[in-house]
Amino acid sequence: MDPRAYTIKQISVFSENKPGRLMAIAGALEEESINILAFSIAEANGFGVVRALVDKPDAAFKKLNAMGFMVSFTDVIAVKMRDVPGGLFEMAKLLADAGINIEYSYAYSGRDAAVLILRVDQVESAVKAIIFRGGNLLKSEDFQEKP
Amino acid sequence: MIAWDPNMEMMPEEGLKKLQFKLLKTLVYRLYSFSNFYHERMDAHGVHPDDIASLGDLGKLPFMYKTDLRDSYPDKIFTAEQEELVRYHVSSGTTGKPTVVGYTKHDLDMWTESLARALTSCGLGRGDVIQVSYGYGLFTGGLGLHYGAERIGASVVPTSVGNTERQIELMQDLRVTGICCTPSYLMHIGEAAKKMGVSIRDDTHLRTAILGAEPWSEQMRMRIEEEMGIKAYNIYGTSELSGPMFSECTEQNGIHMWSDICLVEILDPETDEPVAPGEQGEMVVTILQKEALPIIRYRTGDITSIDTTTCACGRTHPRIARLSGRVDDMLIIRGINVFPSQIEHALLGIPAVSGHFMIEVDRVGALDTMLVRVELNPEAFSDKINDLMAIRSMVAHTLKNALNVSVDVEIAEPGSLPRFEGKAKRVIDRREY
């Protein structure tokens, strides 16, 4: 098993916290026909970081960067959860048992399962621990184009 | 160690004070008797020349402001007859009506003498070839340094500004050892030389630069000195005082203000009270020997500090520090003087942010608040809010240390803050008074 198959490129965009910024980002992605699978906004005083899983991360990076946005890639993992009461509990317990610390996380309800997106400090050992405990991870190729 | 006028430049402080008092007393009596402007101003201020009994009484005299010169355009304050005047210089008038300065023969002589001392203290003299690349004409820089350089017996190459490639050729052909110009023009010369395949360091004899007429920083000095393999000295003056007049010596530790030529006060711009040596304030200058356009307690608007201890070079005259800003730019935040230049300087030392910034000042209740918006450098971007918050607090901490007042910091996207082509306007003050 190659843990790298399970690391997924998330784009992170720095944005000032003011009207129109998310519109500009989303509009740019639409222009490039880039599909957003999941996203979240983390906010602090005056600024935020928009994090998104998209189907064409490289194209998204290029476009936003050219528009003057500060963009970076972050490796995250995406864990499938059962979309039933207790689904998140099972997954949180699995991560806790594996001793994986979550730096941040967001979730979306996918076609066949709920998906929890995790930013952890040690991606590869997290992947191994989750799979070892019977967890189900999405692969980048499941929804992202190859660069 | 070489000085142009060792007896004067090394005179013990006590002697200098006596001399200053004598010159001040003469000046005040002369102006009270012959200048309508000063006579009326002193009467209105309730001070008579007899009230000046010691140097400490200087504070009793009224100030002179730049507006006084503007209001007196062109020559209403002059105390010399037109036939005594041997030259005029006129300011550019970029910040208002131009000001005219007239010079008698003696005025030009004092100006030249001041620069002869300054240039000598930078190690220049007979045998040196000095290229004067300040503008010649109505601007004081070119002609001022031209006469100063001639007086010390140097050979002068009066290139003025422009035609840079030709300047570089002449610098090589005439074996120029010293250059006088603005720091930005010297940087331009350096770049142009590179394009021509000329290394200032290896292919010229240049070893000294006398730089001024615009604000520049210690970092710029280091860069110039390292890149060109020369020594760069800071020079000070304004057209109201004659033109460029005073410079650092080879110690590079402050600009010597000749006590027999001028009397320097550093005042708190709010209270007009003198600040202690080493503390920052507005420089107020009295030119002790000036005939055509006398200057008593002129508010230069320049912010600096003074060091009255004897310089390591042996010169006893006080030294002023590199100007840290202008009074016009000064903000008072909760009673503390803050200059945008201090913020710029502090930000330049932080790799995570760029040098572009904006200051927003508000009053919440009775409390002043200052927000500094800075641009994050792309390399410093992290998708973790904690990392960004850490940068924000680090910037706030650095600014607080530099300014002695707490600052709110907002991190902005790169390229999002205004850029300025001319004079930067970095302050938005929304307080109501």
Q: Tell me the nearest-neighbour CA distance from B394 into chain A, angstroms.
A: 15
Q: Report d(CA A82, CA A36) in Å as an integer.
A: 22
Interface size A-B, in CB pairs within 8 Å, comes to 48
Total number of residues shown for chain B: 433
Q: How far is CA B107 from CA A30, B235, B241, B318, in A?
A: 72, 19, 10, 22
Are B100 and B74 spatial neighbours (Cβ–Cβ below 8 Å)?
yes
Whether the Cβ atoms of residue B431 and residue B362 lie closer than 8 Å to each other: yes
Q: Would residue B343 be called left, alpha or beta, if left means φ above 0 and alpha means ψ between -120 and 50 degrees?
A: alpha
- Using a CB–CB cutoff of 8 Å, tell me whether B196 touches chain A: no
Task: Tell me the whole-structure pTM to 2 decimals.
Answer: 0.72
Higher pLDDT, A81 or B255: B255
CA-based nearest residue in chain A for residue B372: A46
Least confident of A29-38, A58-67, B415-424: B415-424
pLDDT of the residue at A46: 82
| pLDDT score, position A144 | 81
pLDDT along chain B (433 residues), means of 10: 92 97 96 95 96 96 94 93 96 77 97 98 97 95 97 98 95 98 91 95 98 86 95 95 96 97 95 94 96 96 95 97 86 86 88 91 90 92 91 95 92 88 81 77
Report the complex ipTM. Answer: 0.82
Tokens of B317: 């005259």
Report the alpha-carbon angle A22-A24-A28, nearest 5: 115
Q: Check if the beta carbon of residue B421 is closer than 8 Å to that of residue A87.
A: no
| Enclosing H/E stretch for B237 | strand B231-238
Mark out chain A residues that contact chain B at CB-CB < 8 A: 10, 12, 14-16, 42-47, 49, 51, 68-70, 72, 74, 103-104, 119
Query: Which residue in chain A has the smallest CA separation from B373?
Result: A46
B242: left (phi over 0), alpha (psi -120 to 50) or beta: left
Q: How far is A124 from chain B (nearest CA, A)?
A: 19
Q: How many residues does chain A have?
A: 147
Amino acid type, B220? M
Mean of the per-residue pLDDT values of chain A? 90
Position B327 scores a pLDDT of 86
Q: What is the pLDDT of residue B422?
A: 65
Closest by Cβ to A16, choosing from B385, B389, B413 = B413
Tell me whether residues B413 and A14 touch, CB distance under 8 A: yes
A49/B376 CB distance under 8 A: no
What pLDDT is recorded for position B325? 82
Interface test with A, best of B381, B383, B410, B411 (most A CBs within 10 A): B383
Alpha carbon distance B363, B333 (integer Å): 10
Contact predicate A10/A50, CB 8 Å: no
